[in-house]
A and B are shown apart, each in its own frame.
Chain A
Amino acid sequence: MCTYQTATLDVSGSGKGADGWFPVTRASVYFDHPVHAPAEHTLNVDLLNPDRGAGARVAVELDAASARALATAIIAMLESAPPGLVEESLRT
């Protein structure tokens, strides 16, 4: 099925796409048909810079278990960073 459901959010950082590194400003997250992964549905993340055109995109399509593991690992790394480091990075 096409779930249609999509979370979109502002992000700040950089991504590496087909033409090298670029600033990423938006993200879309959705569980829907993949383009390439061999599954009916995957958790898809697009890191985008709409000002630079549709091709300014870093895309991943992960099976649900991988996506959960990755999300858990991201949160764990942020929470285990040395005290003050995350707060400091958000000030710069």
Chain B
Amino acid sequence: MSDAMRAETVRITGHGGDEIEAYLAEPLDGPGSGGVVVIHHMPGYDAATKEITRKFAAHGYLAICPNLYSREAPGASPDDAAAAARANGGVPDDRLVGDVAGAIEHLKSLPLSNGKFATIGYCSGGRQSFLAACSLPLDAAVDCYGAFIVGSPPEGMPLKVGPIVHLAKDLSGPLLGLFGAEDQHPSPEQVAELAAELDKYEKVHDFHTYEGAGHAFFAVDRPSYRPEAANDGWRRIWDFFGRYLAS
């Protein structure tokens, strides 16, 4: 097995049969690989998220990141697309699930696929990773500091985001949660509430909250980056996917 990989923009069929853009990164050879759908953060389908997608391929996974803002802003730069999506009220939950399902179908069609799939998402994508794992048959999911799984956003805000903790009973696979102790969205209390809900339904989950870290501690291009938390988080992600996505 070599370490060669290919990374490129592809077109996939998303929610409602819409053709959307996605970034695919895949090892070129080796044994069957698990598939990871990377759900980008609210600032969009940007260079940092594409780098994360390539990181999964470098670790032997088939990885794809759908551009959740494809419809609002086809061909626009990621920051313009994120601004347009925000002005439009954000990504509806049903559309997110349809786009993730389409991304999984694309991964399934790849010759190296071993038929196992997971989602991982950051920031707003953390909530969406949980949502996908409660709506689709997945082998694992990772939630990195997703806000508003528990708790409602402030009144009067135009974004179509509401609490989804009631979906915990439908979680289809093990959930790894990585959070910052100094984050308020989600707060440690909200993380504890989600954990209690998962306990109630005997859903396998593994949550870690890092001291000295707030929101977005994985983001290497932002002041919120906390290397110790991020490095330990990555170690846990590789261990988790090694257990649940292996052939």
Residues 9-43 of chain B, each 1 if its beta carbon lies under 8 Å from chain A, else 0: 00000000000000000000000000000000111
What is the distance, in angstroms, from B177's C-beta to the closest C-beta of chain A? 16
Nearest neighbor of A32 in chain B, beta-carbon distance: B42
Chain A residue, CB-CB nearest to B85 = A54
In the complex, the answer to whether A57 meets B80 with C-beta atoms within 8 Å is: yes
Q: Given contacts A28-B86, A28-B87, is CB(A54)–CB(B222) below 8 Å?
A: no
Interface string of A9-45 (1 = CB under 8 A from B): 0000000000000000010101011010011100000
| Chain A binding surface, main DSSP class | loop
Q: Considering the complex, give the chain A residue whose CB is closest to the CB of B124.
A: A2
Does A66 interact with chain B (Cβ within 8 Å)? no
A38 to B153, CA, bound (A): 26
Q: Is B185 interfacial (CB 8 A cutoff)?
A: yes
Q: Which residues of B contact A4 (CB under 8 A)?
A: 42, 90, 124, 147-148, 153-154, 157, 159, 161
Tell me whether A48 and B222 are in contact (CB under 8 A): no
Given contacts A33-B216, A55-B77, A55-B80, contact A2 B42 (CB under 8 A): yes
Most buried by B among A4, A26, A40: A4
Residues of B within 8 A of A48 (CB): 83-84, 87
**From A8, A30, A40, A59, contact of B223 by CB (8 A):** A40
Q: How far is the CA of A59 from the CA of B80 in the complex (A)?
A: 9
Knowing A2-B147, A2-B185 are in contact, say whether A28-B83 is a contact too (CB < 8 A).
yes
**A63 is an interface residue with CB less than 8 A from chain B:** no
Residue B183 lies at the interface, judged by CB distance under 8 Å to chain A? yes
Contacts of B42 in A (CB 8 A): 2, 4, 32-33
Q: CA A38 – CA B225 in complex, angstroms? A: 12
> B-side binding surface: helix, strand, loop or mixed?
loop
Q: Write the nearest CB–CB distance from A46 to chain B, whole angstroms.
A: 5
Residues of A within 8 A of B224 (CB): 40
Least CB distance, A85 to chain B, in whole angstroms:
31
Number of A residues whose C-beta is below 8 Å from B?
Answer: 24
Q: Is A89's beta carbon under 8 Å from chain B?
A: no
Closest to B148 in A: A4
Given contacts A28-B86, A30-B86, contact A2 B123 (CB under 8 A): yes
Q: Among A32, A38, A53, which residue has the most Cβ atoms of chain B within 10 A?
A: A53
A1 touching B87, Cβ below 8 Å: no
Q: Chain A residues near B79 (CB, 8 Å)?
A: 35, 59
| Closest chain B residue to A39, Cβ basis | B223
Our pick among A1, A6, A38, A54 for the contact of B157 (Cβ within 8 Å) is A6
CB-defined contacts of A55 to chain B, threshold 8 Å: 73, 76-77, 80
Q: What are 12 A-B pairs at a CB distance below 8 A? A: A1-B184, A2-B147, A4-B161, A5-B157, A6-B157, A6-B158, A33-B42, A35-B79, A39-B223, A40-B216, A50-B84, A57-B80
Closest 9 CB pairs of A and B: A54-B73, A54-B76, A54-B84, A1-B215, A1-B185, A54-B80, A35-B79, A46-B83, A28-B87
Interface residues of A (CB under 8 A from B): 1-6, 8, 26, 28, 30, 32-33, 35, 38-40, 46, 48, 50, 53-55, 57, 59
